[in-house]
Amino acid sequence: MGDVLAIVEQREGKIRGVSSEVVSVAARLAQGLGGAAHAILVGGSGVSAGATEMGRFGAEKILVTEDDALRDYHPQGYAQVVTDAVREGGYGAVVFAATAQGKDLAPRVAALLDVPLASDVTDFRVEDGGIVAVRPIFSGKAFASLTFSASPAMLSIRPNVFQAQESAAGGGVEAFNPEGLDPSAWTVRVGEFQPSGGGSKDVAEASMVVTGGRGMKGPENWGLLEELRDALGEDAALGASRAVIDAGWRPHSEQVGQTGKTVAPKLYFALGISGAIQHLAGMRTSQTIVAVNKDRDAPIFQVADYGIVGDLFEVLPRITEEVRKLKAGD
Amino acid sequence: MKIVVCIKRTPDTETKIRLGGDGVSIDPDGVKFIISPYDEFAIEAGLQLKEASGDGEVILLSMGGDGTQETLRQGLAMGADRAILLKGEAGLDGLVTAKALAAELKEMDASLILFGMKGADMDQQQVGPMTATLLGLPCATAASGFELVGETLTCRRGVEGGAEILEMDLPAVVTITKGKFEPRYASLKGIMAAKRKPLEEKDAQGGESRLIVQDLSYPPERPAGRVVGEGPDAAPELVRLLREEAKAL
Ligand SMILES: Cc1cc2nc3c(=O)[nH]c(=O)nc-3n(C[C@H](O)[C@H](O)[C@H](O)COP(=O)(O)OP(=O)(O)OC[C@H]3O[C@@H](n4cnc5c(N)ncnc54)[C@H](O)[C@@H]3O)c2cc1C
Ligand SMILES: Nc1ncnc2c1ncn2[C@@H]1O[C@H](COP(=O)(O)O)[C@@H](O)[C@H]1O
């Protein structure tokens, strides 16, 4: 009962970065519970090629289900495979990523297994042989510590909060072929994935986020933000406040906050953002927060680790220049 | 066409949260409650669909304690036709809520069941897909928009780096996020009419919570922030601190 299953995520055959965090958390939980960490990867034929990589983060066994009907995420298909794997393995805990896919999949699996789920967990510990999961409530205005009185314990973890940790345990890949997988019984038809283009990272999974607010004055000024993002490198993405989205300057997918995405990057730039409570809801668990605002009394300065008071049209280009210099020296 | 919208009563997003003396609940004193913002998107989606089809019914369904009647009246004021309240404690274990909602929905025979993407209180994002799974119905989550042609629903859901398109036949479940459906304000006429609309009350059948709250706490204080300086000349010092002190670059 002490074994823990990590749900690995892939898109277009590529394993997503957050999966190394999920497997690392599973390994730490398994250690606390006195069991082993396993991982499961579901995808189309050939997907197993990248699976062994998960062993590096402590998975002693990596189950792989390869089926072309499962190439793209399918809510019913994936839920059935994962549910079968959990039942067969007799796991004591199951760990998902709180990504778009994990937030869709985990509740379905929980309902099929008839066990509760703690979503979007940001901390955990093992106490008296049981898991205590800590998660933000009221958009981070408080935290709840939860225990499970049903097994397996199901949790999804917030991306970027937990460190991926390499481990010696590395195990092999094993095919997992659940019986009775019947795509003709699925009542949802999944269409072709539509990439958003631009190829840049999504704000919810980037480890550095450059967010612009109404202080940016208009969409024509976004080039300044793009330059900082590019200077920071591939792990950086653009975000925006709701005021910006509502004005139609940027797409919905970039909104950070209560009615947008929740992000927890290593580094968050809030540029021309006042720091309304609903914006803080989406970014207050970021590791380091930087604010630039011309108003010294803007509430964003209360959560920012570092601030510059000034006109961002003057300050931002200088920050970009300094970052470029720094990177050039590396 | 019968459309059911599941809504939750949650504290206003502006509200200051104070923990109760028992350490496992919040102090409700002075808290203003609203319809969870995502659920307003769902109500709007239901109303638009009803208006487009020219007939049908939008029914609100909520599990909650006393005070939830007021929340349901607010939804009726937006234009929903009637409401059902399942009286019970909707806590952190979303499966309890899903079971209570599913038990009622099983009897209702709706063509479309709409949810918000998440409750603005616990941010669990689970009750919608759990309910759909219990009912054995097709479900799209976090849809920013959908289209209904005949009996076929096409939903668009934004995910990291793109969008997924899901198609399903009615009856179906959709959870709604910000996007196509900007909630309307209740008109004065709507508010008056809402007082006379039917609101049925029954006991919730969801079972016991199996997610046990050990304690609630305030977030760790962020160490006091620092204004590095004023104007562009502060940029070099900022970047130095980001590298050497915060180790973020
Ligand atoms: C139910 C609900 C949900 C919401 N959800 C969200 C959400 O998900 N995300 C979100 O962000 N908001 C959300 N909001 C809106 C939120 O309350 C704020 O209105 C919004 O965050 C404000 O955006 P802003 O900071 O960009 O704009 P403003 O509040 O207008 O702030 C602009 C800032 O830019 C500064 N500025 C202006 N010019 C310059 C300059 N030249 N140089 C430097 N600084 C400058 C100003 O001093 C000011 O502080 C929600 C609100 C509600 C009621
Ligand atoms: N007590 C409740 N009564 C009715 N609907 C609910 C309740 N709790 C949650 N929901 C619905 O489920 C969605 C997701 O809630 P949650 O899983 O709590 O984030 C909400 O937006 C509502 O549509």
Q: Do the chains contact at A306 and B144, CB–CB below 8 Å?
A: no
Which residue, among A233, A241, A248, A290, has the nearest Cα to A267 in the 3D structure? Answer: A290
- Least confident residue range of A147-151, A169-173, B47-51: A169-173
The verdict on a CB contact (< 8 Å) between B212 and A143 is no
ipTM above 0.90, yes or no: yes
- B157 in contact with A at a CB cutoff of 8 Å? yes
Q: Which of B159, B166, B226 sits opposite A306 (nearest CB)?
A: B226
Kindly state if the Cβ of A314 falls inside 6 Å of ligand 1. Answer: no
Record: contact A116-B209, CB cut-off 8 A: yes
Grade residue A199 by pLDDT with cuts at 50, 70 and 90.
low
- Measured in Å, residue B60 CA sits from the centre of ligand 2 at 12
CB–CB contact A277 B13 (8 Å): yes
* Interface residue B168 vs chain A (CB under 8 A): yes
Ligand in closest contact with the CA of A273: 1
Instruction: Please state, in angstroms and as integers, the Cα–Cα distance from residue A281 to each residue in A258, B12, B232, following that order.
Output: 5, 13, 29
Domains of chain A: 4-185 (3.40.50.620), 197-328 (3.40.50.1220)
* Residue A198 pLDDT class (50, 70, 90 cuts): low
Residue whose CA is at the smallest distance from ligand 2 atom 23: B115
Q: What is the pLDDT of residue A44?
A: 95
Distance from CA of A114 to the nearest CA of B (A): 8
Distance CA B110, CA A254 (A): 34
Q: What is the mean pLDDT of chain A?
A: 94
Chain B nearest-CA distance from A213, in A, is: 18
Question: What ligand has the least distance to the C-alpha of A103?
Answer: 2
Query: Which residues of B are less than 8 Å from A205 in CB distance?
Result: 160
Q: Test A315 with B210 for CB contact under 8 angstroms.
A: no
pLDDT at A169 over 70: no
- 3-class SS at A241? coil
Find the closest chain B residue to A195 by CA distance: B162
Helix (H, G, I), strand (E, B) or coil at A305: coil
**In which residue are the tokens 């300094």 written?**
A322
Residue pLDDT, tens place only, A212-221: 999 999 999 9
Provide DSSP, A67-121. Answer: -GGGSS--HHHHHHHHHHHHHHHT-SEEEEE-SHHHHHHHHHHHHHHT--EEEEE
**pLDDT tens readout for residues B49-103:** 999 988 899 999 999 999 999 999 999 999 999 999 999 998 999 999 999 999 9
A223-231's contacts with Cβ under 8 Å and 24+ in sequence apart are A224/A312, A224/A313, A224/A316, A224/A317, A224/A320, A225/A271, A225/A316, A227/A317, A227/A320, A228/A269, A228/A316, A228/A319, A228/A320, A228/A323, A229/A200, A231/A320, A231/A323, A231/A324, A231/A327
Considering every ligand atom, which ligand is closest to the CA of A256? 1
pLDDT of the residue at B223: 78
CATH code: domain B2-203 is: 3.40.50.620
Pocket test for ligand 1, best of A138, A209, A214 (most atoms within 8 A of CB): A214
Separation of alpha carbons B160 and A206, rounded Å: 10
Q: Per-residue pLDDT for A285 more than 80?
A: yes
Nearest CB to B138 within list A187, A291, A319: A187
Chain B residues close to A267, C-beta within 8 Å: 242, 246, 248-249
Amino acid at A146: L
The average pLDDT across B232-246 equals 97
**How far is the C-alpha of B48 from the C-alpha of B53, rounded, in Å?**
9
Residue A145 predicted with pLDDT over 90: yes
- Residues A294-307 have pLDDT tens digits of 999 999 999 999 99
Tell me the mean pLDDT in the region B158-182. 94
Ligand 2: does its nearest atom lie under 6 Å from the Cβ of B78?
Answer: no
Contacts of residue A78, defined as CB under 8 A and 6 or more positions apart, other chains included, come to A42, A70, A105
Q: What is the pLDDT of residues A54-77, one digit of tens each?
A: 999 999 999 999 999 999 999 999
pLDDT band with cut points at 50, 70 and 90 for residue B48: very high
Chain A residues closer than 8 Å to B161 by CB: 11, 195-196, 201-202
